[in-house]
Chain A
């Protein structure tokens, strides 16, 4: 059964495979965070409900140009440290406020992210949500993203860092749907509910 757990809450007294956000003490498995767990699953894991973005290798993120200096650009990726992109790896020139999409190539010991394959997004808007809830915007095999794209006709890109970039289509409706998903990320039947919501408001 799915349930909400708090940090330090006992998940299992038996040995289990260990997933994310858990720790073992004295042979028992506990949660590290406030989140959702499913005790019927083979693996002991907790999906965090709250928390800021901590960069990880291979994450794709939506960044905003926050600083322009001689050698390159300071990029805000919604983390506690800006990333830096040298001018020489960008094909186009960037200006303050430009939106880019990039991959986290590496994270150093200061949790600063090196970005690779930066791509400038022309126009569009950024919607921000609680970063740990952003996987629900994509859904299983991209099912939620399909629903959002079909329902709003927007071109959508979802970053792991709690940022959604969108262009064209009904952005106001998309914002409503994204907010709904953020507020209900831990509930069942979310994809159906969003489909319903998009039909209703169209």
Chain B
């Protein structure tokens, strides 16, 4: 395994955090600048590039037809995948997605799925036979931490802008023809924190993640719901810390929603 991060750099990040400072000069609860581009991939039903500081991810959606799950005969579904491409960081390795990428994809998936933003009943084509499955995959193009939030923003925008493929009389997809859009009833977003040197940092960079004793992500909606939570890495949080992070998350995600609404 490669590691291009120096141990001494990690010690520096921890020492700074203890004094409530960050290596890039941000405040502890300050998010990096977000840039959004959409529609770059014409073969995708929706696609988005999100740049969060130096972190850059690309998400794309393909709608496909599948069979419903036995216990939900009248519901379609979504599936989210994540991959840290070896082109995105010297420490990323090629090969099948590892545990970190699977966790990342599942947390981003849960925040959207469990918010009920997408009505799976509307993705039903023929009950018990044919349903829509939305395959969304996002890939890291440059990795500088907080792939949870970057992936979550990119995924949400991609679903927001997704075109639905047209079906022929036999309910088969007509390539490159579309009718209507996928509608979302909520705008769920993840907000991620790490604990470094006993302090809570919003939107961690790569080196801050490497320095972290614990990580926490929370999915929030604009109407006051929590749709997902995930505590990661060893280490722990107090209830007080969790409550504080949830409070910041609601405020912070509202700012991002405003930016998304402008697209």
Does B bind A?
yes
A interface residue numbers (CB < 8 A to B) = 64-67, 76, 96-98
**B12 in the interface (beta carbon within 8 A):** yes
- Which B5-30 residues have a C-beta within 8 angstroms of A? 6-9, 11-12
Residue of A nearest to B9 (CB): A97
Give the distance to chain A from B23, nearest Cβ to Cβ, in Å. 12
Told that A66-B7, A76-B6 touch, could you supply 7 new A-B pairs with CB distance under 8 A? A65-B8, A66-B6, A67-B7, A96-B7, A96-B8, A97-B7, A97-B12
Residue of B nearest to A65 (CB): B8
Contact partner of B11 (CB less than 8 A), chosen from A67, A76, A96, is A96
What CA separation (Å) do A8 and B6 show in the bound complex? 36
Give the distance to chain A from B19, nearest Cβ to Cβ, in Å. 16
- 18 CB < 8 A contacts A-B: A64-B6, A64-B8, A65-B8, A66-B6, A66-B7, A66-B8, A67-B7, A76-B6, A96-B7, A96-B8, A96-B11, A97-B6, A97-B7, A97-B8, A97-B9, A97-B11, A97-B12, A98-B8
B111-128 CB mask vs A (1 if < 8 Å, else 0) is: 000000000000000000
What CA separation (Å) do A50 and B12 show in the bound complex? 28
Q: Which residues of A contact B12 (CB under 8 A)?
A: 97
Q: Which residues of B contact A67 (CB under 8 A)?
A: 7
B6, B9, B12: which has the most chain A beta carbons within 10 Å?
B6
B182-215 CB mask vs A (1 if < 8 Å, else 0) is: 0000000000000000000000000000000000
What CA separation (Å) do A65 and B7 show in the bound complex? 9
Q: Which residues of A contact B8 (CB under 8 A)?
A: 64-66, 96-98
Give the distance to chain B from A151, nearest Cβ to Cβ, in Å. 22
Q: Which residues of B contact A98 (CB under 8 A)?
A: 8
What CA separation (Å) do A66 and B7 show in the bound complex? 6
Residue of B nearest to A67 (CB): B7
Give the distance to chain A from B107, nearest Cβ to Cβ, in Å. 33
Give the distance to chain B from A52, nearest Cβ to Cβ, in Å. 11
Give the distance to chain B from A159, nearest Cβ to Cβ, in Å. 15
Residue of B nearest to A66 (CB): B6
Residue of B nearest to A97 (CB): B8
Q: Which residues of A contact B11 (CB under 8 A)?
A: 96-97
- Which 6 pairs from chain A and chain B are nearest by CB? A97-B8, A96-B8, A96-B7, A66-B6, A97-B11, A76-B6
Give the distance to chain A from B59, nearest Cβ to Cβ, in Å. 30
What CA separation (Å) do A97 and B9 show in the bound complex? 7
What CA separation (Å) do A64 and B7 show in the bound complex? 10
Q: Which residues of B contact A97 (CB under 8 A)?
A: 6-9, 11-12
Q: Which residues of A contact B7 (CB under 8 A)?
A: 66-67, 96-97
Give the distance to chain B from A172, nearest Cβ to Cβ, in Å. 10
Q: Which residues of A contact B6 (CB under 8 A)?
A: 64, 66, 76, 97
What CA separation (Å) do A77 and B11 show in the bound complex? 18
Q: Which residues of B contact A96 (CB under 8 A)?
A: 7-8, 11
Give the distance to chain B from A128, nearest Cβ to Cβ, in Å. 11
What CA separation (Å) do A76 and B8 show in the bound complex? 11
What CA separation (Å) do A96 and B5 show in the bound complex? 13
Residue of B nearest to A125 (CB): B12
Q: Which residues of B contact A66 (CB under 8 A)?
A: 6-8
Q: Which residues of B contact A65 (CB under 8 A)?
A: 8
What CA separation (Å) do A96 and B8 show in the bound complex? 6
Give the distance to chain B from A165, nearest Cβ to Cβ, in Å. 14
Give the distance to chain A from B13, nearest Cβ to Cβ, in Å. 11
A66, A67, A97: which has the most chain B beta carbons within 10 Å?
A97
Residue of A nearest to B8 (CB): A97
What CA separation (Å) do A9 and B7 show in the bound complex? 42
Give the distance to chain A from B93, nearest Cβ to Cβ, in Å. 17
What CA separation (Å) do A67 and B3 show in the bound complex? 13
What CA separation (Å) do A140 and B9 show in the bound complex? 33
